[in-house]
Amino acid sequence: LLTNDDGIHAPGMAALRSAFRGRDRFVVAAPAGQRSAVGHSITIHHPIPCDRVRLADGGSGWAVDGTPADSVKLALAELIRPSPRFVLSGINFGANLATNVFYSGTVAAAMEGAFLGLPAFALSLCTRVNPRWADAAVIARRVVEEFTPFIEGTPVCLNVNIPNLPARSIRGVRFTHQARSPWADEFHRREDPRGRLYFWMDGDRTLSKRSGAAPVEMTDVEAVDQGYVSITPLRLTMTCEETFARLHPERNPRTTPPGNGRKPRHR
């Protein structure tokens, strides 16, 4: 299954289709239009129209008037038979590094595939100007072909970020931890002709590249900045095991369960 968050007619989707043409059978189900930065939202308060559309390369796909996660849910439940072997989401126009993964529709579509039991790749090209789609598609195909055997049959998402470089200039692949670089928000204040206040949101990631992992481990931000393809395995749960271990009474006798009449001891 090929999907994305930039829309079914986006150039990143066309590049991905071109890279895999003749190598495998694939089906496209993606948002009908631009749905970047919608995260893992789904549509529950109104119907989700789906149309079979013709693509620029002569193929066809399902244009879903919903979110990226909607597209994957519908594709696997209603639109595709038999079920696909894996999900490819992308190629996204822009990086999905560090905490950006929480906002990303590209990553959410891949994670939805993993939620539903399939291995998935989220593929992003790290630039906002002059994208090298053909080079990125070559790298994406190599990554998928090389690493699918390691995750086939496993519900996991590999978050792949590709530097905007000629394919021959890519230094290699690095398996990385997600950096903690937060998004530095910037709001542009405006007023419409009727006096109503509105804002344009802008910003960029901060320069911090820390992950919280051991210092020897490379982060996704560092890898891309150094010219490597970053591959970060993403898990399906968000439980903070470190905090859980501190709070759970069986693992930490100093912690008292609520409701026993005693206050937890603090240090």
- Domain housing 262: 240-267
Provide the number of structural domains found in the chain. Answer: 2
CA dist list (Å): 150 to 47, 55, 79, 116, 169:
38, 32, 27, 18, 26
Over 50: is that where the pLDDT of 173 sits? yes
The fraction of the chain above a pLDDT of 90, given in percent, is: 77
- Decide: 176 and 222 in contact? Cβ < 8 Å: yes
Size of the chain in residues: 267
Over 50: is that where the pLDDT of 3 sits? yes
- Same domain, yes or no: 232 and 260: no
CA dist list (Å): 266 to 246, 250, 251:
12, 17, 16
- Same domain, yes or no: 152 and 252: no
Token look-up 């590249």 returns 209
Among 22, 117, 33, CA closest to 77: 117
Asked if the structure places residue 194 within a domain, the reply is no
- Same domain, yes or no: 227 and 112: yes
- Mean pLDDT across the chain: 90
Over 90: is that where the pLDDT of 202 sits? no
Q: Which pLDDT value is given to residue 25?
A: 87
- Tell me the average pLDDT across 223-251: 91
Over 80: is that where the pLDDT of 260 sits? no
For residue 125, what is the domain's CATH number? 3.40.1210.10
- Same domain, yes or no: 101 and 147: yes
Helix 133-151 / helix 11-20 crossing angle, nearest 10 deg:
60
If pLDDT is split at 50, 70 and 90, which confidence band does 203 have?
Answer: confident
pLDDT in tens, 141-155: 999 999 999 999 999
Q: Which of residues 176 and 252 earns the better pLDDT score?
A: 176
Q: Which pLDDT value is given to residue 214?
A: 47
- Same domain, yes or no: 63 and 108: yes
pTM of the predicted model as reported, rounded to 2 decimal places: 0.88
- Same domain, yes or no: 38 and 146: yes
CA dist list (Å): 203 to 31, 95, 100, 186:
25, 14, 12, 5
Over 90: is that where the pLDDT of 165 sits? yes
**Paired tokens of 34:** 């631009």
- Same domain, yes or no: 95 and 173: yes
Among 148, 132, 113, 164, CA closest to 11: 132
Asked if the structure places residue 152 within a domain, the reply is yes
- Decide: 122 and 160 in contact? Cβ < 8 Å: yes
Q: Which pLDDT value is given to residue 160?
A: 99
Window from 189-193, 197-201, 258-262 with minimum mean pLDDT: 258-262
Distance from C-alpha of 239 to C-alpha of 256, rounded to nearest angstrom: 20
Strands (E), the chain: 2-3, 29-31, 50-54, 60-64, 87-93, 120-126, 157-163, 173-175, 183-191, 197-205, 229-234
Residue 147: enclosing H or E segment and its boundaries? Answer: helix 133-151
If pLDDT is split at 50, 70 and 90, which confidence band does 19 have?
Answer: very high
Q: Which pLDDT value is given to residue 41?
A: 98
Q: Which of residues 132 and 25 earns the better pLDDT score?
A: 132
pLDDT in tens, 103-129: 999 999 999 999 999 999 999 999 999
- Same domain, yes or no: 168 and 118: yes
Residues of 221-245 as b/e, b for ≥16 C-beta within 10 angstroms?
Answer: bbbbeeebbbbbebeeeeeeeeeee
